[in-house]
Amino acid sequence: MKKLVFALLSTGLISGVAIAADAPASPHTVTGNFGIATDYIFRGQSQTKGEAALQGGFDYAHSNGLYLGTWASNVTEMSYTGSNMEWDVYGGYTGSMGDIAYNIGMLKYYYPGATANPKPDTLEAYAGMTYKGFGLKASYNLDDYFGVAGTDGTVYWDATYSTEIGSGVTLALHYGQTIATGAGDDYSDYKIGVSKTISGFNVGLAYSKATNATTTVVGGHDINQGAAVLTVGKTF
C-alpha cells in the first residue's frame, strides 16, 4: 500500500495535501522534555544546594482533557537522606470555559532510596485556574509534608502572571505561600524571570528567593537564599 501511494504521489494523480486532510486527527498526544539548570529551586528553596540539575520527563494528554505525566531531577542527598533523585508522577484533568482554563489533579513526589523516617515521599492534590495570563493554584498535602511528621493538611498557594514583552521574550512573575500545619513552618517565596525560544531551545533566566523561612544550611549552602538560575531545555 505504501508503494502504491508513493507511485500515485510521484505521478501527480493524487496530492499529499488530500491524504493529510483525510487522515483523522489522533486524540492522543505524547511529548517529552529535558533540560539543565544551574540550580533546582522548588518553592523558593534549593534542592541541589546551589549546584546544577539535569531534568526531564514525559507527558501524555487525551483530547478529552485527561493527562498523565512523569518528571525527574537530581537533588542533594544531604536534604533527602539516602536519595539523590526526585521522581514525580502526576495525573489529572484540564479544560476551559471561554478565557478561563482550569486544572485539577494529584501529584506524588518520590525520593528513591531515602532512608529517613518518615520518608520524604509526598502526595498532593491540586486545583488551579488561569485567566489571560493570570494564574492561581492551590496544592493540598495528604501526608507528611516532605518528611516532616504531623504536617498533613499543609497548603501551598501559587499565584502567577506571564506576558510577552516583545521580541519573543516572556516575562513571568510568581508568588507562593506555604501554610504549614503541625511542626511545619509558614513561609513565602517569589520568582521573577524571562524566557525566550532560541534555535528550538527554551532559554530562561530567573531570580528566586524564600522569605520568612527558617535558615536552613545544607552542605554549607543556605537553601533559602536568593539565587539567579539559568535554564536551557527542549520539548519534543
Instruction: Write the DSSP assignment of 148-186 as a string of letters.
Output: BTT-TT-EEEEEEEEEEEETTEEEEEEEEEEE--TT---
pLDDT for 213: 87
Task: Return the pLDDT at 149.
Answer: 92
pLDDT higher than threshold 60 for residue 13: no
Q: 28-235 maps to which CATH number?
A: 2.40.160.40
Q: Say if residue 183's pLDDT is above 70.
A: yes
Question: Higher-confidence residue: 119 or 17?
Answer: 119
Residues 6+ apart with CB under 8 A from 140: 124, 125, 126, 153, 154, 155
In the block, cell 554549607 appears at 220
Identify residue 172 by its one-letter amino acid code: A
Most confident of 24-28, 153-157, 214-218: 153-157
> What is the average pLDDT across 194-201?
98
Q: Quick one: pLDDT at residue 21?
A: 55
> What's the pLDDT score for residue 124?
98
Dig out the grid coordinates for 66 from the structure: 485527561
Q: Is 145 exposed, middle or buried (0-12, 13-18, 19+ CB in 10 A)?
A: buried
- Specify the pLDDT at position 24: 79
Q: What is the DSSP letter of 14?
A: S
**CA 199 vs CA 58, 196, 236: distances in Å:** 21, 10, 13
The grid coordinates of residue 96 equal 476551559
Cβ of 90: how many Cβ atoms within 10 Å? 18
pLDDT at 9 over 50: no
Arithmetic mean of pLDDT, 140-160: 95
Helical H segments across 42-180, by residue range:
none
What is the structure's pLDDT at 23? 66
**CA–CA separation, 111 and 235 (whole Å):** 24
Q: How confident is the model at residue 156 (pLDDT cuts 50, 70, 90)?
A: very high
Q: Are 113 and 86 in contact (CB under 8 A)?
A: no
pLDDT averaged over every residue in the chain: 91
The better pLDDT of the pair 167, 213 is held by 167
- Tell me the pTM: 0.88
pLDDT surpassing 50 at residue 3: no
Q: Which three cell numbers stand for residue 229?
A: 538560575
Whether residue 14 is predicted with pLDDT greater than 70 in this model: the reply is: no
